[in-house]
Amino acid sequence: MRRADDVSLRRYNSFGVEARAREVVQLDSLSDLEGLNFDPACDLVLGGGSNLLLANDIEGTVFLNRIRGMRILSDRDGIATVEAAAGEIWHSLVLWSLAHGLTGLENLSLIPGLAGAAPLQNIGAYGVELSDVLESVQAWDWQSRERVEFSNTDCQFGYRDSRFKSGDAGRYLVTALRLRLSRQFEPRLTYSGLGEQLAKMEISSPTARQVSQAVIMLRKRKLPDPALVGNAGSFFKNPLVTCEAADSLRSRFPDLPLFAVEGRHCKLGAGWMIEHCGWKGFREGDAGVSERHALVLVNHGHASGGEILALADKVSESVFETFGVRLEPEPRIIRG
């Protein structure tokens, strides 16, 4: 465990915005947790900081979760349970599992951030969500000061949502994930762009590694690289509306992308709506809307969290005026 006072958080958030923490504590092992307290009102746990907008300083302690380790716990009848500690880089876990002949994570290649943050927002891409492969989450209960385990159902996963992000926000620190992976590859190619990418690569029956490569190419082409321009991936969720509301919007906007979800609801393509309102590539100072993907807000250099938030409000307001639909931010926003 390491501690430091009055630390700049700029290199700890993928937006690259400046904010300070009164104290930063780096957690390297489970035993570090035992003597520590956590106050959800002023403290913060950080993984890769890739789904976060810091619009204020942190008055308390920032805990950097850097507990490492990946191992296969069981491997029988073509199904393996893999355990990854929260501080492992998510994409390294994907590559490690593929190198061990284990499949299931390929569609989730190149998602930024650390493994421990994955269950908070139930990371998802190209037709797969973490909840499709997650067996359980190991966590530390800050209140009762003991280790706890949550089954997949206990996590209350939804679209970019879980109990750790909603009802129980701030109560648990994720220490490890257990994933159920398979030695028999079943490609999941329902997301049409993925099929198109594989066709471009002239691959008709892909291996899991080839699907991973296709996803990597798609992400590199469509999304700005946080190492080059600050961003937190999609800044807004795709709004969920009833299918009746979606049909009525479609009659006014025939090209609006709709994705059917369970329970007579549809997701609307928020990126398309934002682009339709003319925001793609817009820039105000150093805060901007990516010219590659309108759902991604970017920091071109020295934008503050407040400036990015102000731009998000304008984008959201204009989408509401045009479509009558409220956009909800996807990253965690620290307003102070």
Interface residues with ligand EPU (CB under 6 A) are 125-126, 191, 193, 222-223, 233-234, 237-238, 257, 269, 271-272, 275, 280, 293-295, 330
* Beta strands, E only, 202-309: 230-234, 240-242, 258-261, 265-268, 283-284, 287-289, 296-299
**Reduced to 3 DSSP states, what percent helix, strand and coil does the chain have, rounded to the nearest 5?**
25, 30, 40
Q: Which of 106, 129, 307, 330 is catalytic?
A: 330
Helices 90-99, 208-222: inter-axial angle, 10-degree rounding: 150
Locate tokens 């300070």: which residue? 20
Q: Using the CB atoms, write b or e for 27-37: b if 16+ within 10 Å.
A: beeeebbeebe
The separation between CA 153 and the C-alpha centre of its own chain, rounded to angstroms, equals: 19
Distance of alpha carbon 67 from alpha carbon 275, whole angstroms: 40
The CB-of-275 to ligand EPU minimum distance in angstroms stands at: 4
Minimal CB distance residue for ligand EPU: 233
The CB-of-16 to ligand EPU minimum distance in angstroms stands at: 16
The CB-of-300 to ligand EPU minimum distance in angstroms stands at: 17
| Of 191 and 320, CB closest to ligand EPU | 191
| Of 7 and 115, CB closest to ligand EPU | 115
Asked if 24 and 4 count as a contact pair (C-beta separation under 8 A), the reply is yes
Q: Which of 66, 109, 160, 290 is catalytic?
A: 160
Q: Which of 97, 162, 234, 304 is catalytic?
A: 234
| Of 120 and 125, CB closest to ligand EPU | 125
| Of 181 and 296, CB closest to ligand EPU | 296
| Of 51 and 103, CB closest to ligand EPU | 51
The CB-of-140 to ligand EPU minimum distance in angstroms stands at: 26
Report H helices in 40-84. Answer: none
For this structure, is 234 an active site residue? yes
Locate tokens 């700890």: which residue? 12
CA-to-CA dists, residue 102 to 90, 151, 207, 265, 292, angstroms: 15, 21, 11, 34, 32
Distance of alpha carbon 66 from alpha carbon 117, whole angstroms: 12
Determine whether 301 is exposed, middle or buried from the number of CB atoms within 10 Å of its CB (0-12, 13-18, 19+): exposed
Asked if 298 and 290 count as a contact pair (C-beta separation under 8 A), the reply is yes
The CB-of-210 to ligand EPU minimum distance in angstroms stands at: 18
Asked if 100 and 72 count as a contact pair (C-beta separation under 8 A), the reply is yes
| Of 21 and 233, CB closest to ligand EPU | 233
For this structure, is 330 an active site residue? yes
- At 170 the three-state DSSP class reads coil
The CB-of-193 to ligand EPU minimum distance in angstroms stands at: 6
| Of 80 and 114, CB closest to ligand EPU | 114
The CB-of-184 to ligand EPU minimum distance in angstroms stands at: 24
Q: Which residues are catalytic?
A: 160, 234, 330
